[in-house]
Structures are given as C-alpha cells and as structure tokens.
Structure 1
Amino acid sequence: MKKIAIIGGGISGLYIANLLKKNSNYKITVYEKNNSINLEKGYGIQLSVNSINLLNKIGFHNIKLEDKFHPDKVDFYSLKNKKKICDLNISAFNSTEVKYTTLQRFTLINFLKDSLPDSLINYNKKVTQINYETKNIEVNFENKTSIKCDYLIISDGTFSKTKSIIAKKEIKPKYFNSIALRATVDQAPTKEINPDNISLSLGSKLHTVIYPINKKGQFNFISILRKKLSASQLVDYSLFESRDFIESVLSDLSYQISPDIIKNLKNIKCFPVFVSSKIYHPTNKNTFLIGDAFFTFPPTFAQGASQSIELAYELYENLENQNNKFNQTRIKRTKMINFKSRFNYFVFHISNPLIAFIRNILMSYLVRNKKFIISYLGKIYKN
C-alpha cells in the first residue's frame, strides 16, 4: 500500500483526496496547518465547464440547485459611460450535466470536506522539514511529530512554505501591483445589470465583476484596482484589514463605480494580488505541486479554482497510470492560461479613451466570432 501525504486542505488538496480515496492501494492523509478547514461563507467563485466535468466524477452534480447558479452570459459594461459594450455567451460550452457554475466558495469546500472521512484530515500540522535521504519521504511538523510517505503532494496555496522547504530557498510570489476588494451583495445592485448573468465592468486601471452565487438572490462583488505598494506595506498584513485602508480603496473605486453599488457592499475585505513568476519543478520524482502552490494566475480569467481542480485530476491520473511526467504535460497549458489572464488584465484596465473606444468596438465584433471564441475560450474550457 502506497502512503500519500497531502499538504494543505484547500480546493486542490481536498479534491485529489476525494479521487485517491477510491483506490484501496493508497493510504491518504491531508495535513492542514490550521485548526480547521476555512469554511467562511459569502464570497464566490466561478467554475467553468472543464472543472465541473471533473467535479461531477465525485458527485458535485448532487449539490442542491438553490446553492449554485448557471449564468448564460458575461455582460461587458463601460464604467466611463455606464453603458453595455457587448455580451459573451459562455453557455455555448455547456451540456446537460456540465454547465458554467457560480457559487459560494464555502459550498464547494464544504462539499469536498464532507465527502471525506474525518479521520483523513489532520489539523495543526505545519511542515518544518522534509527529508529525502531515507527510503521514504520523511515530513517533520512543528509539533515535533513526523510521518513517512511514498508520495508527497503539496497544495498549501500561493504562499506555500512547503515549496520553499523542498527547494531549500525561499520562493515568493510576485505582487501584481493590484489590490482586490471583495464583498457580498444581497440583491442586484443596480437595475441596469442582468441579475442572471456575470457583469464585468471595465474602467481606467480597474475592473469589477458582479455575479450571482446561488438562487437566493445573493451576489459576489470583486474589484481589481491597480495600486503600487511599498515592500513594508506588503508585509504588514494588518494594513489590509484596517478600516482606514479599506475606506481609501473604496474612495478610489468611487470615482468610477456607482455609489448605489458601493453603499450595498457587505463583508468587505481587501487583499493584495500575488501571482507566480515561474513554475518550480521538484527534483524528487515522487513530490508534486498542485493548486496555487504549483502556479498562481492573475484573477482575470476566473480560472483559479478550475485550474486547481484540473491540475489535481491530472496528477491523480498520472499516479493511477504510474506516470511521473506530470509536470511536463502541464507547463504549456499553464503558460497559455497565464498569458491570456495577463492579456485580459491589460484589456480590462485600458485608461486611454481612444484606445478604450477601439477596444469596445473590437470586443463587440469578437464575441460574435465563433472561431475566435473557440480559440480563445474553447482551448481552456474544453481542454
């Protein structure tokens, strides 16, 4: 029996645990550094059909209909003149059982956690050292306990400490010169937007996204604002929780975003946006990185959660087939999605009025061009 240690109880770690538990030849354990899995309610995520298809393999289609939503389109708006630019039909990639889905992050995490026996998750396990000199991989934890495993799967997020430990050097994500402000809204914030679609509003050096997260009339709001921060500000985690900082970000947003939207925001949180600058390859053939620990994308293609799921499934298949070429097959796809995410970021944040005008005309044409949609979205959604 092969022992598999999964470091991190996020989306990717819990998902691959659900896949691996089906195989009696594996003994799996998830090691989470916190004292519980983060089940904070409210904030939403988007899941495109490439990940829904994989989630359905472990019963995701059984989640209550009222706890998720299936938007048909992305409506693009201009924050400058408050008018609709065009709309993109994302339901074109749907099938009867597999549909573009929005929901609370809590709903997905809770589903993944509840699908696992409680005994498979060990809490308060912070990795301090990894030893490859023994026959098996030895993992040491902060509480002076240790385990040995045949396979080590690292899925402890964007700021993965375990990745730095195996690399024997500190690997930090790069600040993307942007602040994300996330909030919830209990009803459609303005009459102009269609509450059944994803509303993406483009402004000068910022964009906002509003979308339903269930069929109870609740919405997720997120705004990405370009903002330079000093090195000292980036390490001051209390800064992003302070009321003064949040108010300053809201003030910046108020120049372009309707006050009717801002006054209805609840559960507001701010955080700096970090991304990966390159892909790290573990030298040990039985050690793997998945989720944001593998690569963190800019949040402008809504592929963070979907790629975490997709990546975990690819690793699962490689383990099942005893194929250790996992990283080699993933690099090209990661680079493609990263490029498109960065390109979206540039397009969404254009500040020059003339260039923005030209962009809007081009977008109106391209969203109706089937060849472009298949090339730009289909390669990601349909894998």
Structure 2
Amino acid sequence: MSSPTKDIAIIGCGVAGMTLALTLHARGIPCKIYEVRSTIYRTTGALILSPNALRILDKLGVYEDLEPKGFSFQKMIFKNNAHETTDEYYLGSKELFGYDCLRLYRRGLLDHLRFEINDAGIPVFYGAKFSHVVSETEDGVEFAFEDSTTKHCSLLIGTDGIHSTVRRCINPSARPVYAGMISINCAFPRSALRMPPEHPDYPLPVAVQSKPGTFIMAPQDGEGSTIFAGTVALYPEQDHAGWDELARDKAKLLSMFCKDKDAWPDIVQSAMEAVPEETVAIWPFYNVPRLSKWSSEQGRVVILGDAAHAVPPTAGQGASQALEDAYSFTIVLAEVAKGREWNKSLDAWEKMRNARVDGVKKLTQLLNKTTLPKEEREKLEMETWGSGVDQTWLYCRDLENDTEQCLKDAFGN
C-alpha cells in the first residue's frame, strides 16, 4: 500500500480547499488544486470568522494581514422594539477566547488565501470540472473531468461545497436537505441609519426581534461604513432554476425584505428604505444529512467542509468548521507519514469531527429558532442560549492536542 501523502489532489478552491493546501504545504506534503470556476470568478457576500477559525489562520501566518480588511467585534446584541437589550451572544472575545470575531467580505478572504497559495507555488488548475472516480485501489485514485481527461493521485479530497460532486462518489444518496427558510440580505451605507435619539450608543452588530421575526444589522468592512442587513423568511423549496430566477428578481426580493415594515422600529425602517435594490440577495438554508463516513471504502476519497457537513450560517460556523476540518486532517496525514496506519487513523478522525459538527448543528438549530416570526417562536420549546451558555467548547478548541489524542486513543499509544 502506497502512502496517501504521496500525491494529493484537492477538488475545489474555496476556503476549505485553500486552507488544506496551505497546511499541507507547511508540512511538506505535496498537493494540487482543481477548480471548476475560472480565475475571474468573483463571489459576493460576507462571512464570519470566529476565534476557532482565526486561531488556525494565525498559525498559518495569515491572520495579521487579514484582520485589517474586516470588522472586528465581540457580541451580537439582541434588542426588542423598545430598544431594550434582551440577550447577547458572543461571537468572539480576545479576553475570553483569545480573538475577537472578524466579519469580512468573502472575496477578501478568498483573494488573500489565493495570494498565499500562489506565493507558496501550489499548482491550481482552473476551469477543471470534476466528473467522477474512474477507479480506486488501496494505492490511489484515477479520476476524470468532464472533458474526458483523467488524472491519478494517492488521495482525492473533495472540498467542493454543499452540492459536492465528490460526495456522490462516496454516498450517492446523500443530498442536501432544505431547512424551509431563506436569508434575504443586502448592504447599504451606515450613514443612512436613523439611530434612536434616546439611545446614542445603539450597538452594531444587532439583532432586532419583533413580531415579523429577527432583523440583523452588522458592519462588514474595516471602517464599519457598510452595513450588512438580513432577515429570514419561510419559503418553499425551488429547483436550481427556480432559485436562480428568484435571485434575479430583485424587486420581489426587496418587497419580501421590507414586508411588514411598519411593525419594525424606526432604525430598521430606515435600513429598509436605504437598500440599493441591486445588492439584495438570498441564501437558501440547506443541511447535509449526517454522514457516518466522510470517505470511501478504500479510504482514498475524502470530503471536507460543506461537502461533508454544511449547516446554515446562523451560528457563523460554516467557514470556521471548514478550517477546522482542513487543519486537523493535515495533522492526521502528518502522523500517517510517520508510520500510523491510514484507514484506522482516518476512521478515528472522522468520528472526532462528526462529534464536533453534531454540537455545532445543535447550536445552529437553536439559533435558527430565534430568527423566526414571534408567533412561530412561541410555538417552539426554546432552550437556554446566549449569555447563559459557556462557549469555550466552541471557540477554544485545541485542535493539535485533540487530534493527536484521538489517534492515540485509537491505537492505544
């Protein structure tokens, strides 16, 4: 059996794929990336990087240059229509967790990681659309692209997102499950907000809870001059063409975004009035069903990130868990390179990561409930969350120790 670290192919040049490539490179493990999109593709929207993610980026030497490009903060404050604080939820804190939370444009993170990839000399092949696995043995994988060309590698890793093609090669029946709701979001100038005169210290980010639901506003650039706003709406599932049609119908989305405008406090109404129609977008909430295995029977095809465990963005852990996958998986590969048996190591890692993701999904489901309209929230049994919950389990994970320990437990040494 040849080593899985001999020649690694990564399908997907997103957060998980590029982080994996950088961590592999740092340990001297060769890899190549294959990306379906062209180099001119520009993604939209913003994301949250919590302390567990920033700790990884710091170890990779990326955080220091990345941090000024985003907006750092600690808490999401929950307010009611009377501007009273009803709860708070820590998304980061240097004092408590080592790092504040960082919110930044998704393209900013991807561009920065792409720069690091190029600087490291890691090969990236754009416009390469993965098709299927041709054959797999205990020594490697032959795989094909849609143009009928084939390649061979010792280990094929799919980081190709929630609608992963690589996942179908492992579990063809595993399909993303729609959660029944979409996020409608936009961006507008902070200067357009009418701050409550009686509350000059009104906080941002904020989640305003009212009868129609929850309306979130958060700065998303370094200066805090641009505000992201988003709310959740119940909506029937669409096929791919249907989602595309809805995404293009900006007038309809804006109307949905501003629904029940008079039921919101004036600060939210001012946000609704300030939205440039062209910025309105949607994010359908999908989950990937829990997979007991993230790898093929031979162990030479593996999926990471959203391909393995996509969750809605409510807890801000999508990118963070993808980073954890990539970083911890590289630790496993480094141990295998030292002589540990591959399949047993892979099985131990999968069980560790599945347990971790189970906790994140439970938290996400809990936070999803808080975004619903008041009448829907009142129908549900609400568990304790927010300021009463210890979040060190989420933000202060020692990935090196935990990964190495899970291997020691598996092998008895």
Q: What is the TM-score when the length of structure 1 is the normalising length?
A: 0.86
* Residue of structure 2 equivalent to 1:58: 60
Distance 2:40 2:307 in 1: 17
User: Is 2:308 the partner of 1:309?
Assistant: no
Instruction: For 1:321, give the aligned amino acid.
Output: E
For residues 201-280 of structure 1, the aligned pairs below 5 Å read 201-204=208-211, 206-231=213-238, 235-252=242-259, 254=261, 256-257=263-264, 258-266=268-276, 267-279=279-291
Q: Partners of 2:25 and 2:150 in 1: how far apart?
A: 22
Superimposed CA distance per residue, residues 206-240 of structure 1 (whole angstroms, 9 cap, x where no aligned partner): 32322222332333424242323155587452222
Matching residue of 2:185: 182
Query: Deviation per CA, 1:1-43, whole angstroms, max 9, x where unpaired?
Result: 711111111111111111111233x3211111111274435x2
What pairs up with 1:317-328 in 2 under 5 angstroms?
A: 317-322=331-336, 323-324=345-346, 325-328=348-351
Question: 1:176–1:275: 8 Å Cα contact kept in structure 2?
Answer: yes
Q: Which amino acid aligns with 2:249?
A: S
AA of the residue aligned to 1:301? A
| Higher deviation after alignment, 273-282 or 340-349 | 273-282
1:105-116 → structure 2 map (5 Å cutoff): 105-116=106-117
- Distance change in 2, residues 1:61/1:253 (3 Å): farther
Partners of 1:219 and 1:209 in 2: how far apart?
Answer: 14
Letter in 2 for 1:260: S
Structure 1 counterpart of 2:362, from 339, 345, 358? 339
Structure 2 gaps of 5+ residues are: 337-344, 398-413
Distance 1:128 1:2 in 2: 23
Q: Go from structure 1 to structure 2 and tell me whether the alpha carbon gap of 1:128 and 1:350 turns closer, same or farther (over 3 Å shift).
A: same
For the Cα contact (< 8 Å) 1:203–1:348, is it kept in 2?
no
Structure 1 residue 381, shift from structure 2 partner: 0.9
CA contact (8 A) 1:179 1:272 kept: yes
**Secondary structure of the residue that 1:330 maps to in structure 2?**
helix
Instruction: Say if 1:182 and 1:268, in contact at 8 Å, map to a contact too.
Output: yes
Structure 1 runs not aligned, ≥5 long: none
Aligned to 1:295: 309
Equivalent residue for 1:15?
19
The whole-number CA distance in structure 1 between the counterparts of 2:163 and 2:263 is: 32
Paired residue secondary structure (1:137):
strand
TM-align CA RMSD: 3.0
Greater mean alpha carbon deviation, residues 252-261 or residues 92-101 = 92-101
Structure 1 SS opposite 2:389: helix
